[in-house]
Amino acid sequence: MDCQCCNKKPARIRICDVEENNIGEQINVCPDCFNLIKRYMFDITKPLMTTPDVIREVQGLLTAGETSLATLPEPGGITPVGKEPVPVCPDCGMSLSEFRARGRFGCPRDYEVFAEHLDPLFERIHDVQPARHQGHLPEKTAGEEVVQRRQTVADLRKRLDAAVAEENYELAARLRDQIAELEAQPKAEERS
Amino acid sequence: MNEAFENFPHILGEWLKGTGPDSDIVVSTRVRFARNVRGFPFTGRASDAQRSDVLKLCEDALKQVHLDRSVVTLELDKLPELKRDVLVERHLISRELASGEGPRGVTFGRGEMLSIMINEEDHLRLQWIKSGFDVDRAFHALCKVDRALEKTLPYATSDRYGYLTACPTNVGTGMRVSVMVHLPALTLKENIDQVFKAAQRMNHAVRGLYGEGTRAFGDMYQISNQTTLGRSEEQIVEAIKAIVPKILEFERQRRGQLYTEDRSFVEDKVLRSLALLRSARRLNVQEMMSHLSMLRLGVDLGIISDVPVRTLNELFILGQPSHLQESEGRVLPASERDTRRAELVRSRLAAGSN
């Protein structure tokens, strides 16, 4: 049997869509087309499609030739190196291609780092245009001091460790007192 | 704190009481918000030390908002698997949180209406469950908790995308409304697919009893909004309030039809289920749930009068595998669970027991 995608090479792989307990249409393809189909299906920027729809898209790419095939992400959703700049989040180390493969962000900052790639994705997922938040937001400064205090304490701890390592006990004692003071603050607030 | 947990299998959540608007079809209404704490990676990318920091920050913030005197807080990494599974069957935590790793926890009120998961996919998942179809009350109750928390806990947000979440499907409001409905007539009449497709066209999903990817045992389904960005919380509430009544009307119409046109068929089904549940010596979960479903239908159609809906709702939960094992205090093999389940159902449905 010939591949139902390229209609040239012999079919070796059967794909079927499963929905709940029903098996949908079964399609036989060759290994080469299977690879392209896989790459198309796992591209997170594309809408979720049935196999027959994916095959139509891949057939379109096959007739269009080599250059359009290069736009497909590699299997597993990794964009070909050098084809596109790959932004990486400085906070959590997540790259755009890793985000695409996992479908999950690593940290809040990813939303800024990948900003220019997100609108089309959000517009599709949330079926809305423009992809802008419309609901409630807390005040910007809410809870800010909690974060600042936590970061300050973390910094002081690091300096304390360094001071102890250097056997600078005078500095270590001062740092220890500062940490104790900062950590006591929430309790003081509770009492008031 | 642990005392409350010891009582667990005996005190069931308020939301199971079988009251509230449209409780002939709607079991419960649940609203949840996904929230994350600024300055930390999302749970999936956080180290154990960071997860532990988040857990501590959230627990401290929860203490400050004085939710309720009877709040129970459990650290899940210190809890045995069986107890975690009980919480899942209770809808207090998700399967993901139960089977997750590292420091994580849950806080819930004694009535089990409020539950707050810490270090699930997002740092915080706040949810409020009400009995019946009661979106407004569930939404406002949860808003109160959220607004109190946001004063002490710095949430990760942006002006552009709202509440930032680990999964792009939750960004924006981070809000999901899920309405648990019992649709036996639509299932019997094979109209369920129509409901699925209509809901989907309006950006709402219909899922099984325990959420994503689970099957609809006992004709129980969850209807929920699929989109969270670009619409306000109020718009999400309004949308679900527009869609669910249409499904309820469809189900009621089919129930009426069954009763007027196929009376002996539906009576036969309901009364056979009652006889079976009152006699069976072994019941697996699926069997129990499908027959309980017929009983619930029978109560609504007036075919059965001596079984309260609350009993049926409770059996749906108490007959689940982990609840049975928890009340026995040990892990039971499947065959023994089936025997215990049949005993439980017989005793709760015995004539005159209610």
What are the DSSP calls for A75-138, one per residue? TTSPPPTTTS---B-TTT--BHHHHHHH-S-SSTTHHHHTHHHHHHHHHHHTT-SS----S---
Of the residues B146, B229, B286, the best mutation for testing chain A's interface (the one with the most A CB atoms within 10 Å of its CB) is B229
Q: Establish if B47 touches chain A: CB-CB under 8 angstroms.
A: no
Q: Is A19 on the interface with B (CB under 8 A)?
A: no
For tokens 């406002």, the residue is B140
Of A150 and B159, the one with more pLDDT:
B159
pLDDT, mean of residues B283-309: 93
Q: A108 and B152 in contact by Cβ < 8 A?
A: no
User: Which residue is closest to A103 within chain B, CA to CA?
Assistant: B167
Residue B9 pLDDT class (50, 70, 90 cuts): very low
What's the mean pLDDT in A147-160? 77
Confidence class of residue A77 from pLDDT cuts 50, 70 and 90?
Answer: very low
Token pair for A39: 């790459």
What is the pLDDT, as a whole number, of residue A67?
Answer: 61
Q: Rounded CA gap, B160 and A132, in Å? A: 5
How far is residue B288's CA from residue B277's CA, in Å, rounded to a whole number?
7
Is the pLDDT at B70 greater than 70? The verdict is: no
Interface of B with A in 162-201 (CB under 8 A): 162-169, 171-173, 175
Report CA-CA distances (Å) from B297 to B4, B252, B352.
34, 11, 20
Q: In the Cβ-directed half-sphere of B146, how many Cα atoms lie within 13 Å?
A: 27
Q: Which of A104, A126, A150 sits opposite B167 (nearest CB)?
A: A104
User: Within 13 Å and on the Cβ side, how many CA atoms surround B260?
Assistant: 6
Query: Across the interface, do A143 and B155 touch by the CB < 8 Å criterion?
Result: yes
Encoded tokens for A172: 């270590």
**Confidence category of residue B303, pLDDT binned at 50, 70, 90:** very high
Angstroms from B281 CA to nearest CA on chain A? 30
Q: What is the pLDDT of residues A44-61, one digit of tens each?
A: 666 677 788 888 888 887
Give the residue, B327 or A79, on which the prediction is more confident. B327
Q: Which of A125, A128, A132 sits opposite B168 (nearest CB)?
A: A125
H-helix segments, chain B: 2-6, 48-64, 81-89, 95-99, 135-152, 184-188, 192-201, 233-261, 263-279, 285-300, 309-318, 321-328, 334-349
Closest Cα in chain B to A92: B41
Q: Look at residue A68 in the predicted model and tell me its pLDDT.
A: 62
Mutate to test the interface with B, among A22, A127, A136 (most CBs of B within 10 A): A136
Residue B212 has pLDDT above 50, yes or no: yes
Average of per-residue pLDDT across B307-335: 91
Weakest-pLDDT range from A47-56, A109-118, B198-207, B329-338: A47-56
DSSP 8-state assignment for residue B73 = E
A contacts of B40 (beta carbons < 8 Å)? 107
- Residue in the block written with tokens 């006992």: B218
Name the average pLDDT for chain B. 89
**B148 pLDDT exceeds 70?**
yes
Contacts (Cβ under 8 Å, ≥6 apart) of B330: none
Residue type, B267: E
In angstroms, rounded to a whole number, what is the distance separating the alpha carbons of residues B198 and B245? Answer: 13
Q: Is the pLDDT reported for residue B10 higher than 70?
A: no
pLDDT at B52 > cutoff 60 = yes
Per-residue model confidence as pLDDT tens digits over A4-44: 888 888 888 888 877 666 777 788 999 888 888 887 776 66
Confidence band of B40 (pLDDT split at 50, 70, 90)? very high
Say yes or no to pLDDT of B65 above 50. yes
Tell me how far apart the alpha carbons of residues B97 and B176 are, in angstroms, rounded to a whole number. Answer: 17
CB-based contact A122 B171, cutoff 8 Å:
yes
ipTM: 0.88
Residue among B153, B155, B164 minimizing CB distance to A111: B164
How confident is the model at residue A187, as a pLDDT? 42
The helix or strand, by DSSP H or E, that contains position B7, with its residue range, turns out to be: none
- B230-261 pLDDT, tens digit per residue, is 999 999 999 999 999 999 999 999 999 999 99
Residue A140 has pLDDT above 80, yes or no: no
Q: Which residues does chain A have within 8 Å of residue B54's beta carbon, measured at their own beta carbons?
A: none
Q: Do residue A136 and residue B232 have CB atoms under 8 angstroms apart?
A: yes
The residue in chain A having the minimum alpha-carbon distance to the alpha carbon of residue B159 is: A133
CB B288 within 8 A of CB B62: no
Q: Is the pLDDT of residue B17 over 60?
A: yes
Q: How far apart are CA B170 and CA B319, in angstroms?
A: 32
